[in-house]
A and B are shown apart, each in its own frame.
Chain A
Amino acid sequence: MTDTPPLALDDVSLTLPSAAGPVEILRGLSLTLAHGERMALVGPSGSGKSSLIAVAAGLERPTAGTVRLFGQDLGRLDEDGRARLRRGRVGLVFQAFHLLPNMTAEENVAAPMEIARRPDAMAEARAWLDRVGLGARLRHYPHQLSGGEQQRVALARALAPSPALIFADEPTGNLDSKNARHVADLLFELVEHTGAALLMVTHDPALAHRAQRVVTLRDGRPEAAAEAA
C-alpha cells in the first residue's frame, strides 16, 4: 500500500446548466479520503452530496479543480480512461440499485469482474451472493427480487472485485427500516472485511455515525468535519 490516498479533491467546483441558468452545485470543495477510511457525507437535499460522488468517481467532470483517484488526475483522462481506472478498483452502490435488468443476480455481480477480464468472475459472484445471503437467488432477475435483496446484490457487485474504494450514494434510501439496517450492517461488515475506503452519502444520521468521519455539505461546500465518536 502506498501513501497516495485513494481519493483527493482539491478546490473542486461543479456548475451545471439549467433552464433557469447555470447552477453552482459544488463550490471550491477540497477533501481527501485515506486508505480504509470510512467517510459519510451528509447535508440537506441539493447540497451537492450525490454530485460530489459523481465527480469523485469520475462519472462527471468538475467545472474547476482537481480530482485525483488513486493518484491519477481525472482531468487528464478521457471518459474511457476514467472507466478503465475504475475497473476492479472502484465499487459503486446507488440508492436506486441500478442493477442491469436483463442480467441475473449472478451475472450482475460478475459484470464488473468480467469487464476487468477476471476469469473467475462467475465463481466469485456466486461466492459473494452466498455471503450476502442470496445463494439461492443466483438465477433471479432484478425484477424478481425485493428492494432489500436488490441492494444486497448491488453490494455484492460493488465489493466482489475487491475494490480499494467504495462510493455509496444513499445505499439505504430506498429501503424500509428493517432492510435498511440489514444492508447497512452488511455494507460496513464487508467494507471492514475488505479494507476498502468508503465514501457514503446518507440522510440517515445513525448510518452516518457509523463512519469514521462525517462531512456536512451546505451549498456545495463542507460545513464542518468531525471525527465520529
Chain B
Amino acid sequence: MPSGSSDALITANGLVKRFGDFVAVDGIDVEVRRGESFGFLGPNGAGKSSTMRMIGCVSPVTDGHLSIFGLDPARDGKQIRARMGVVPQLDQLDEQLTVQDNMVIYGRYFDIPRDECRRRTAELLEFVQLSDRAESRIEPLSGGMKRRVTIARSLINEPELLLLDEPTTGLDPQARHVLWDRLYRLKQQGVTLVLTTHYMDEAEQLCDRLVVMDGGRIVAQGSPRELITTHSTREVLELRYPAGTNDERSGDVLGIGDRSEVLPDRVLIYADNGEAALAEVHARGSYPESALVRRSSLEDVFLRLTGRTLVD
C-alpha cells in the first residue's frame, strides 16, 4: 500500500468520512504522484465526491491520514488550497457577471493583484478558446462554455494540482471532447489532475491510473489497461434478442467465452475472440436480432467487480 514516496502529491491511508451514522468513505488508501492524471471512478454515492472534498480541504477528515503537498489539511488547509484549483460538480459562476469579472473576482480570493488577474484571464480564456466571450455575461453561454469558464477560473492561481469533480457530466459529446483535449494539454504542462467520473470513456481517455470505488471502498485499482486485462477479456460480444426474452435465450449461449452477463437490454459474452464466440452462438442455432463485437472497456470491469452497470 502507499508508502509515501517522495513524488507523492496526495497520500491517503485508511481515509474515512462519516456523516452521522452514514459512512461515505470507508477507509481508502490512495497515492497520487506529481504530474499524473488520477481518477476516482464509480457510480453516484460511491464516495468519490466526499473524497474530493476532503482532498480539497473543505470537508474535515473523520478518520485516517491524509496529506497533500506533504501538508496536513486540518492545519494547513489555507496553504494547500492556495496551491490547487477546484472544478466543482456544479458550476459556481455568477450568471449576472461577465466572464472576465467572474475570473477576476475569483483571482482576488487568492490575493492576486487586479492587473495580474486580468493578464491571466486573457491568457486562460485563450487556453479554453473563449477569448471572444470575455465581455459576455455567463447566463447566455452554453453548458460546455460555462464548464470551460469554470476550468479557466480554477487555473487563475496557477495550481500544481487540479481537482475536477465530474467535469463533463451533462455535456454533449462534442463539448466533452473539447474539454478532454484541454485537460490533456494541462497534463502535458505538468499539472497533476485528479478527477471523479462515472463515465468509463472519460476515465479511459484521461486517467493514467484510477481506483474504482463502490460503497465507500476501493474495489480495484490500476491503469485502465491493467484493470481491463485483470478484470475482463480482450473482447466483448453483445447480443440483442427480442425484448423480454434475454433471460430464456441466455441458456442458448451458456458456456461460450469466459463468462456471460444478462442485462435487461442485452446479453454480454466475454471472450478473447468475439467473432469466434459469435460463430459458436450461430452454430448453436441461436440468431439474435443484432450482434456486436467490441473491445472490453472499464464499463465491463465495473460490471464484473460490482455486478451492476454504471448508469446515471
Query: Do A and B interact?
Result: no
